[in-house]
Amino acid sequence: MVSIIVPVYKSEKTLERCVKSLTMQSYQDIEILLIVDGPPDKSGILAEELAKTDNRIRVVNQKNQGVSAARNRGISEAKGEYIRFVDSDDYVEKDSIEILVKAMEGNETDFVVAGFDHLYFGRTIEKLPKQDGIFVVKDNKEYVLQLYKEGYFNMPWNKLFKREMIKEGFPNDLNLGEDLLFNLAYLKECKSFSTVRKPVCEFIQDDRGTTLSTKKREDKLDIALMLYERTGQALEEIFGNKENGWVLENKLLVEFLDDLEQLAFANSTTGKEKLKIIDNYKKALKKLKSDNPKWKVKLELLDYKIIYFFLNAGCKPMTYFMIVLRGFVVKLLKRR
């Protein structure tokens, strides 16, 4: 049986669509755990109503503690051999569970990582691992680093886990990056994993700030630096050495640049505050390069290269100008 864990919080507009996509799965041996995390809206009431329509749905209520605590509660309540996480504002393909279980059992692996469709501002972007296959963890550091670089360890919902192998839950003290740390902790327990070049989830990200992934975070820089350190530690524990081909450093740099590019859309932040934020990232970049004097920068996108050039040169006004210019172009393209 697969236990599907769905945290429920402020999701009265999307929960029914999510749950319907789960009850209509081609793989029937499932339980759906709706972990109602003290929502201020009617999504908890909706969860109870949905539970009446299918005896595989179970509602668990708790005081509001956040998405990590909700998922951890789901793990403790789960009865299935396998665990699948789904966010209440997303939905899954009809054969989603079947694909994951077949990969887990057919390949006799401990962990399955699949693709997903990223629904971004009205566009669908298919995100798939580079290859199908079975991989012994300790023999495939390069592929693990590639998956990390491409963001496949940044979320839990395109994966299948074995319940008994989950030794560490989601960190409750973070509001960003908890999924990455959970996945890396689980990977440490695995002998092998599978990757599947098929989408198993529709991940929705919009510009209204309503989904879990688009909420504003005030402490992104500090969290990014902490995740960089802890990711390096986790990979060293798994593979026994620190060599990572500058993947971690460049991933951190891309996260820096992504955060800075979002300043163009931060209407509630003043220009002076934005310059201060740019200065903080400039200082963090300087320290990063000081700690890694042989660091190799490998940026692929032109906007990253331009903004990095001015940030690295310490020119805050031009960095700010290029961020604003890029934001203007993005808004212009959206109108077309």
CATH number for the domain harbouring residue 118:
3.90.550.10
Spatial distance between the Cα atoms of 16 and 44, rounded to a whole number of angstroms? 11
Domain that holds residue 319: 245-335
Q: Is residue 186 part of a domain?
A: yes
Q: Which pLDDT value is given to residue 165?
A: 97
Q: Is residue 222 part of a domain?
A: no
Range of weakest confidence among 80-84, 244-248, 317-321: 244-248
Q: Given a cut of 80, is residue 175 above it in pLDDT?
A: no
Paired tokens of 134: 């079975």
Residues 208 and 331 in one domain: no
The pLDDT-based confidence of 212 (bands split at 50, 70, 90) is very low
Residue of 110, 111, 109, 151 lying closest to 130 (CA atoms): 151
Q: Is residue 164 part of a domain?
A: yes
Contacts with 234 (C-beta within 8 Å, 6 or more apart), sequence order: 181, 184, 185, 187, 188
Residues 164 and 294 in one domain: no
Enclosing H/E stretch for 237: helix 220-239
Residues 133 and 271 in one domain: no
Residues 171 and 284 in one domain: no
The pLDDT-based confidence of 335 (bands split at 50, 70, 90) is low
Please indicate whether residue 118 or residue 131 has the higher confidence score (pLDDT). 131
Q: Given a cut of 80, is residue 215 above it in pLDDT?
A: no
pTM for the predicted model, two decimal places: 0.90
Q: Which pLDDT value is given to residue 216?
A: 47
Domain count, the chain: 2
Q: Is residue 279 part of a domain?
A: yes
Residues 90 and 38 in one domain: yes
Give the residues across from 161 on adjacent strands: 83, 111
Residues 78 and 36 in one domain: yes
Residues 176 and 73 in one domain: yes
**Average per-residue pLDDT in the chain?**
91
Report CA 27 to chain centroid distance, whole Å.
25
Contacts with 162 (C-beta within 8 Å, 6 or more apart), sequence order: 81, 82, 83, 104, 110, 111
Side-chain-facing half-sphere of 101: CA atoms under 13 Å = 19
Q: Which pLDDT value is given to residue 331?
A: 82
Residues 205 and 263 in one domain: no
Residues 175 and 59 in one domain: yes
Q: Is residue 125 part of a domain?
A: yes
Q: Given a cut of 70, is residue 121 above it in pLDDT?
A: no
Q: Given a cut of 60, is residue 17 above it in pLDDT?
A: yes
Q: What is the dihedral of CA 269, 273, 274, 279, to 10 degrees?
A: -160
Residues 35 and 179 in one domain: yes
Q: Is residue 227 part of a domain?
A: no
The pLDDT-based confidence of 159 (bands split at 50, 70, 90) is very high
| DSSP reduced 3-state for 5 | strand
pLDDT digits (tens, 9 = 90+) for 139-156: 999 999 999 999 999 999
pLDDT digits (tens, 9 = 90+) for 88-99: 988 898 999 999
Per-residue DSSP letter, 91? B
pLDDT digits (tens, 9 = 90+) for 198-207: 999 988 775 4
Residues 124 and 270 in one domain: no
Residues 200 and 272 in one domain: no
Residue whose entry in the numeric block shows the structure tokens 């401990």: 110
- Which of 212, 231, 258 corresponds to the end of one domain? 212
Q: Is residue 194 part of a domain?
A: yes
Paired tokens of 316: 């805050």
Q: Given a cut of 50, is residue 115 above it in pLDDT?
A: yes
Q: Is residue 57 part of a domain?
A: yes
The pLDDT-based confidence of 214 (bands split at 50, 70, 90) is very low
Residue of 83, 118, 87, 90 lying closest to 104 (CA atoms): 83
